[in-house]
Amino acid sequence: MDDGILLIDKPSDMTSFGVVARIRRVLTQRANKKVKVGHTGTLDPFATGLMILVIGKECKNAGHYTKLDKVYEATFRLGQMSTTGDPEGEVTDISDKQPSLEEVKRTLVQFTGEISQRPPIFSAIKINGQRAYKLARNGEEVEIPLRIVTVYSLELIDYTYPNLTVRAHVSSGTYIRSLAVDIGSTLETGAYCTSLRRVSISEWNVSDAKHLSDFGITS
């Protein structure tokens, strides 16, 4: 393909930059010339789901796609916390409290609408020109300011303690890992995100996305 967008269903255990690099290599080989490929917002390595890649001249419009609303399906594990807010961090037991279904429902309502959240220190946000996760991995103190984001809806899919599964329709810039931590704090149990899947970005859905295997990419 030349200029436009490409929908990819990102696999787990791969960085978003890794996805871009592999697709760029395949498209460049097919076109027999260098093809410009960019992403419009990263997904955490453990996460899966929809990525919109911009190809060729469409790369100049990447910022437009980055600002679009997104829908995620995520599972939070209550009773524990992770240093990264996901399975890749060091997990610590926090509490054996088992919130009732009504407590969970009331808490989810509290996190609907405009909310204040602090993005994870292990994130791609730049602090003084450096990625926050690189600073954190180097043992440097990272202070990320609070931001206002919008949670348009936060639907309970399943609650079987210790696992809480939700579907979240959120504005750009919302971190689901931070949402997990904040919900765990409100429930007084601690929590971290064990699975995360981006199912849509605005009108684009992951069901319409291609897999890396469609391009002959196996890893």
3, 9, 13, 44: which is the annotated catalytic residue?
44
- Element holding 50 (H helix, E strand): strand 48-55
In 3D space, the residue among 165, 172, 47 whose CA is nearest the CA of residue 108 turns out to be 165
Decide if 44 is catalytic.
Answer: yes
In 3D space, the residue among 195, 151, 189, 186 whose CA is nearest the CA of residue 170 turns out to be 151
Give 90: exposed, middle or buried? Use CB within 10 Å, 0-12, 13-18, 19+: exposed
- Contact call for residues 180 and 85 (beta carbons, < 8 A): yes
27's tokens: 């498209």
Task: Give me the active site residues, please.
Answer: 44
